[in-house]
Amino acid sequence: MARLFVGNLPYAANETDIQNFFSDAGFSVDSVNVMRDRFSGEARGFGFVEINDEQQAQSAIAACNGKDLLGRALVINEARPMTREGGGGGPRGPRSGGGGGGPRQRDFGGSKNRW
């Protein structure tokens, strides 16, 4: 089973549109998953497609990468496993993030640093 990343998706595209895109190109797709924002449910502009045959998956990449779907040129390549690298964050401890440890002091004098 090969998993393909499909990027630069039009936000209006749904799973059926992607299924039909690959089908029209002559490829049988086992599953399609458009990634959506967990709160709004809106598409995030990328998704994943699974193709049962590795050779067919490579052929699909070669044939479909850069092709147009609803006015956008798709970016299609082999999906890479998620890693914990990048994406910000870093180690979290009791003193990371947020404001200091006590109430803030207001400066009502002539200081330029007012808030």
List pLDDT tens digits, range 46-90: 999 999 999 999 999 999 999 999 999 999 999 998 887 655 555
Q: What's the pLDDT tens digit per position in 103-112?
A: 555 555 555 5
Percent of the chain topping pLDDT 90: 70
Most confident range (mean pLDDT) of 13-22, 84-93, 95-104 is: 13-22
Give the list of residues 6+ apart from residue 38 with CB closer than 8 angstroms, or none: none
Task: Please state, for a pLDDT cut of 70, what percent of the chain lies above it.
Answer: 73
Q: How many CB atoms lie within 10 A of CB 35?
A: 13
- Please give the domain boundaries of the chain with CATH numbers for all domains: 2-78 (3.30.70.330)
What span, in angstroms and rounded, lies between the C-alpha atoms of 23 and 105? 64
pLDDT at 83: 82
pLDDT of residue 70: 95
Give the pLDDT confidence score for residue 60 in this predicted structure.
Answer: 98
